[in-house]
Amino acid sequence: MTTHEAPLPRFHLAVPVDDLAAARGFYGGVLGLAEGRSAERWVDWNLHGHQFVTHLAPRPAERAHNAVDGHEVPVPHFGLLLTIGEFHDLAGRLRDAGTEFVIEPYLRFAGEKGEQWTMFLLDPAGNALEFKAFADDSQVFAV
C-alpha cells in the first residue's frame, strides 16, 4: 500500500532506547512488531502501518505525570488505538511476558462519552506506551 492509498495518514515516531537488544526483545518479541531496516544505532519497526524507530540514546532523566480518572498518567507517552479484541489479546501477551503495568488494563469512563479500555506500560528504556480500545470509534474524539 502506498502512502496515497492509506486510509489514514501514517505517522513517523522516533524514541530513545538505551539497549537495542532489549528493544528488539520487547518490540519484536513481546509486541510482535515486524522489524524493518536497521543500523548499528537504530531499528525501524512496523507499528500497525506506522514507521516507529528506536534510536540508541541516553535514557531521559525525569518523567512527568498528569492525574486522569484517578491514575497518574505518564507524560509523554504514545501508543495505538486497537479493537477491543486486539486490546485484550495484547494485554494477555504483556501479562504472559511478565510486563509490569504503570496502569493495569481497565475500562475508563464506563457508561460515559469516550468509554475505552486502556493500559499504560514502559518499554525497557522507560518510554511510556498507552494502548486503548473504543467499542464505538465515533467516541474517539467525543466531547
Taking CA atoms, 60 is separated from 26, 63, 64, 99, in Å, by 19, 8, 11, 20
Mean pLDDT of the region 21-35 = 97
pLDDT digits (tens, 9 = 90+) for 96-136: 999 999 999 999 989 988 899 999 999 999 999 999 999 89
Which segments within the chain are labelled E, that is strand?
12-17, 34-39, 42-47, 50-56, 64-68, 71-75, 77-82, 101-108, 116-122, 128-133
| Beta-ladder partners of 66 | 73
Res 3: pLDDT: 47
Mean pLDDT of the region 75-88 = 95
- Residue 59, pLDDT above cutoff 80: no
Residues with Cβ < 8 Å from 112, sequence gap 6 or more? none
Res 8: pLDDT: 76
Res 6: pLDDT: 53
Torsion sign over Cα 22, 128, 32, 118:
positive
- Residue 82, pLDDT above cutoff 60: yes
Res 37: pLDDT: 95
Give residue 120's identity as a one-letter amino acid code: F
- Confidence band (pLDDT; 50, 70, 90) for 10? confident
The pTM of this model reads 0.86
What does the block give as the cell for 60?
A: 531521559
Q: What is the mean pLDDT of the chain?
A: 91
Res 25: pLDDT: 97
- In 3D space, the residue among 30, 45, 48, 12 whose CA is nearest the CA of residue 92 turns out to be 30
Who wins on pLDDT, 4 or 90? 90
